[in-house]
Structure 1
């Protein structure tokens, strides 16, 4: 049986489609619209947003300096730490030089110097670096003749502990950042629309490419509409998609399913109308990693050109003798299936089902009358038989 308005099957369409490499021809929006469209979320999950800061807002970043250091790039972070060490050595070296200058240790050798063998700023800088790095004094060393110098050495030792602790904490936090783990939890390159239990459904795939399993996770989907006003103002509207199963245990790759019914924002979209739409499907998966117990999130997005109508994801799971086998080489691959080339609203109308704006009462009334007529016919037959 061939569905009305469905995609015609052929040997060419039966072949496997690799959505990572294969270009699938389809109707495209106009060049003007495509040129104006900007992704809200990149495919790798990063927000395509650039903030323009005013001169007075940098203080907020300095108040939360730890988060700022974790979020900046590695090369900038190493530059900040390098400057922190150099500046601390210079500042305390200058203090030791001033102490030696006031105490008279820079000229003729003093019988009771504050710092032994510090006769210039270079010597004071080297003594500061040796003190903070705890590499041992050797030729230069602290004496008990100046209480001020002893206090400065104590302050430098305490400050060096804070600097070392901050550097170690930031490096560990940056290495354990959720962005790196998010690369191993990935979404399919495209979303698909096909029939599931007789209803049109939107699907995308999520999988964990690591061997360790995710304890629990929650999938979400949202339509983001871009609207550009004649005044130049950009308005973003968000519509949540109702998913059939949000909670997922990602031991094996799973398909996230959204049923296109009368409550779906995709209810009136046909394949032709979908190609002309200007929206973005933003998907996310929030989960708890069983390795470190941290809450993390992976994001991706699909444009209308990346939503394939009439395709089905390749089966990845196979049952072996002792284990379930998952073939991740099929993660992005799809095949053609028979799907009506019409919107869910038009399909429901052809089937006599209610759609948006239509009351359910006439349909229910027709069903009740049919049941009563069938019941009365049954009674007549029973009476005639008796």
Structure 2
């Protein structure tokens, strides 16, 4: 259970420097939800942009794999069903060795379209009329384009760098160099190595002005280490709580009343593909653990090799102190 922070003076006024990560003033002051979900997605949506905003290529690159194959399979069946209907409409003399009527003839037309689309060509069914040969010519051209586009999208999905940065579910406030520090940690969830990793943490909360209006302020948190050259294992990000910190002399209740949130943006270069990757997450006050520290991630095999136990990423341990904790 999260213990309350000790009472103290009011937190210092947050800087006016725009550190809102590009969210904008209206979104910052009127949104009643957290800005970033734990998976990095945004809560604020865009509507009324029309069909021009739809990018089929972009959607096929970003949808989950199961939905991607489902979509491609549906398009494949739809095209063959369409050409099968065209062959069916040409009459019973358009193709050889086909039933004369009913669903059987349509199925024969459909499977002939599948054979033509995939350049299978068993040979016992072939077009007899000029109209049927014309449709075969058109379908062969469509199949060439379709296979080329599907192959290109599939290759792009495989070649596109995808990060799997695992953020801890909670942030802790723990002793650090004679004082206190806010900490959260992350792990590289891929086997590829990351280089030139950078992390940015921005604190945001509402502030009440003298005229009674509540405005949201943003402040970039000063980190003990904001970038590392190599990031093969795990990284505990530390924000020392000093007089310049928004957590200096404040309470959990005050932060909760101010709807405080920490937005985290991570970027690095994937060594395998030499491309930049990005990840986002956030922490609300109910996801803070006061007087806790993270459990040790590092273990050793029987052979003495060091490894990181990712299952302990979110584990914390309570810290027992003889005196009342202080953020000073």
How high is the TM-score relative to the length of structure 2?
0.70
Q: 1:53 and 2:47 equivalent?
A: yes
**Equivalent residue runs for 1:194-205 within 5 Å:** 194-205=174-185
Runs of 5+ in structure 1 lacking a partner? 1-22, 28-35, 107-113, 229-233, 348-386
**Equivalent residue runs for 1:15-30 within 5 Å:** 23-26=1-4
| Matched residue, 1:368 | none
Contact 2:269 2:276 in 1 (8 A): yes
Contact 1:178 1:297 in 2 (8 A): no
Task: Judging by fraction of residues, say which structure has more helix.
Answer: 1
The match for 1:309 among 271, 276, 290 is: 290
- Residues 124-164 of structure 1: CA distance to partner in whole angstroms, max 9, x if unpaired? 44432321132324322146x73x64443233122113223
Runs of 5+ in structure 2 lacking a partner? 6-30, 209-213
CA distance in 1, matches of 2:74, 2:116: 17
Computed over aligned residues only, the root mean square deviation of the Cα atoms, in angstroms, reads: 3.8
CA distance in 2, matches of 1:254, 1:90: 53
User: Which structure has the bigger radius of gyration?
Assistant: 1
Q: 1:298 and 2:279 equivalent?
A: yes
| Matched residue, 1:240 | 220
Describe the SS at the equivalent of 1:216.
Answer: strand
Q: 1:66 and 2:57 equivalent?
A: yes
**Equivalent residue runs for 1:1-386 within 5 Å:** 23-26=1-4, 38-49=33-44, 51=45, 53-54=47-48, 57-61=50-54, 64-72=55-63, 76-97=67-88, 100=90, 106=93, 115-117=95-97, 122=106, 123-142=108-127, 146=130, 149-171=132-154, 173-174=156-157, 181-182=163-164, 185-225=165-205, 237-248=217-228, 249-271=230-252, 273-317=254-298, 323-328=305-310, 330-331=312-313, 332-336=315-319, 338=321, 341-343=325-327, 347=328
Between 1 and 2, higher relative CO (CA 8 Å, sep ≥ 6) is seen in 2
Describe the SS at the equivalent of 2:42.
Answer: coil
Describe the SS at the equivalent of 1:162.
Answer: helix
CA distance in 2, matches of 1:319, 1:257: 25
Cα 1:242–1:94 shift into 2, 3 Å: same
How high is the TM-score relative to the length of structure 1?
0.61
- Residues 308-366 of structure 1: CA distance to partner in whole angstroms, max 9, x if unpaired? 233333344468986434444543223416586444xxx4xxxxxxxxxxxxxxxxxxx
Cα 1:171–1:140 shift into 2, 3 Å: same
